[in-house]
Amino acid sequence: MGATGSDGPRAALCTIATDVLNGTLDESFALHVDSALGHGAGMAQVRAVLVLVAEFGIAKAWQAYRALESLGGGAH
């Protein structure tokens, strides 16, 4: 299924996880965060993705959290 309807937020959140694990925390990460929010995901869900992927790379998850903070989406 495409990234429309109810699958939109899920697909966008998956791309964030991929960005974190691949270390692509530049424009790609920002685009995917915007996409997730635009598809109806909340910032809490975006941060939850970072917590989940931390199991596979705590340093990468921490770097992603810092990148998210720079986008204005840190802890609120």
Are 41 and 64 a contacting pair, CB within 8 Å? no
pLDDT bucket at 1, cuts 50 / 70 / 90: very low
Q: How high is the pLDDT of residue 74?
A: 62
Which stretches within 1-76 are classed as H helix?
7-22, 27-38, 43-53, 58-70
Closest CA to 10 of 50, 31, 38, 41: 41
What percentage of residues in the chain have a pLDDT greater than 90?
83
49 pLDDT above the threshold of 50: yes
Instruction: Name the one residue in this structure whose structure tokens are 């996880």.
Output: 17
How many of the other CB atoms lie within 10 Å of CB of 56? 11
What is this structure's pTM?
Answer: 0.84
> What whole-number distance in Å separates Cα of residue 8 and Cα of residue 73?
20
